[in-house]
Amino acid sequence: MNKLQEFLALARAEIGVTEDPPGSNRVKYNTAYYGSAVSGDAYAWCVVFIWWLMRQIGLSDLYYGGKKTANCSAIWGWARQNGLIVQEPQPGDWVLFDWNANQSPDHIGLIESVENQHINTIEGNVDSCVKRMHRSRDKKIVAFIRPAWPAEPATEYVTKAELRSMLQQALDMIS
């Protein structure tokens, strides 16, 4: 499984994780991020959920340059500065939303799949939990961000003739 597949599988496994109590922002992602349990309006965690996922799969360096932020606008600025904004989304990309229509992102999710004019996302901090959503690709979307996922290692194939030759060489060495 490559890192992108690992990222999506982990996000799917987290669907249903809920704040305790609901509405408190007290959730395991915030505890990991802040180093202790926190709660209250100052601790929205949609961005922290993405940070947690990247950290769990060992790719913290691909999240905000290896630093921490819980701020959608900071992620947007970093992504623009580093050429990570893309026009056409694909699974594993992050999507920033502007619910307030004030030209500043205030929510983030990750794209699980794309269907014509809709995206299917997994988002933290929706109705106090991690949730799968079906969203329209409309003006509320600020940007799609594509992390610099590691390239897949090249797969090398050996022909039967090459394998026979290698096996014969090995047999000759031990004879």
Q: Chain centroid to CA 12: how far?
A: 11
Residues 6+ apart with CB under 8 A from 22: 128, 129
Kindly report, residue by residue over 34-61, the tens digit of the pLDDT.
Answer: 999 999 999 999 999 999 999 999 999 9
Q: What is the pLDDT of residue 1?
A: 73
Q: Comparing 65 with 161, which gets the higher pLDDT?
A: 65
Local structure of 175: helix, strand or coil: coil
* Contact (CB, 8 A) for 92 and 84: no
What is the CATH number for 35?
Answer: 3.90.1720.10
Question: Two tokens at 156?
Answer: 């090398």
Query: What whole-number distance in Å separates Cα of residue 155 and Cα of residue 124?
Result: 35
Q: How many domains does the chain have?
A: 1
Residue with the bigger pLDDT between 20 and 168: it is 20
Identify whether the C-beta of residue 59 lies closer than 8 Å to the C-beta of residue 147: yes
Q: What is the average pLDDT value for the chain, to the nearest integer?
A: 94
Instruction: Give pLDDT, residue 170.
Output: 84
Is 70 exceeded by the pLDDT of residue 155?
A: no
Q: What band does 153 get if pLDDT is binned at 50, 70 and 90?
A: low
pLDDT level of residue 154 (50, 70, 90 thresholds):
low
Contact 149, 4 (CB under 8 A): yes
- 10 Å CB burial of residue 106 (0-12, 13-18, 19+) is middle
* 32/47 Cα distance (integer angstroms): 13
Domain assignment present for residue 33? The answer is: yes
Among 147, 16, 138, CA closest to 75:
147
Summarised one tens digit per residue, pLDDT across range 82-135 is 999 999 999 999 999 999 999 899 999 999 999 989 999 999 999 999 999 999
Answer whether residue 173 is part of any domain: no
Tokens (6 digits) for 92: 């594993």
Per the domain annotation, does 35 fall within a domain?
A: yes
Per-residue pLDDT, 19? 97
Residue 136 lies in a domain: yes
CA 173 distance to own-chain centroid: 49
Domain span including residue 70: 3-150
pTM reported for the whole predicted model: 0.86
What pLDDT does 164 receive?
A: 84
- 79 occurs within a structural domain: yes
SS3 label, residue 135: strand
Helix locations, the chain, DSSP H: 3-14, 28-34, 46-56, 72-81, 160-174
User: Within a domain: residue 169?
Assistant: no
Residue 139 has pLDDT above 90, yes or no: no
Side-chain-side CA neighbours of 170 within 13 Å: the count stands at: 6
Q: Does a structural domain hold residue 20?
A: yes
CA neighbours closer than 13 Å in the CB half-sphere of residue 6: 13
- The answer to the question of residue 172 being in a domain is no
- Average pLDDT in the 124-149 region? 95
Residue 162 has a pLDDT of 81
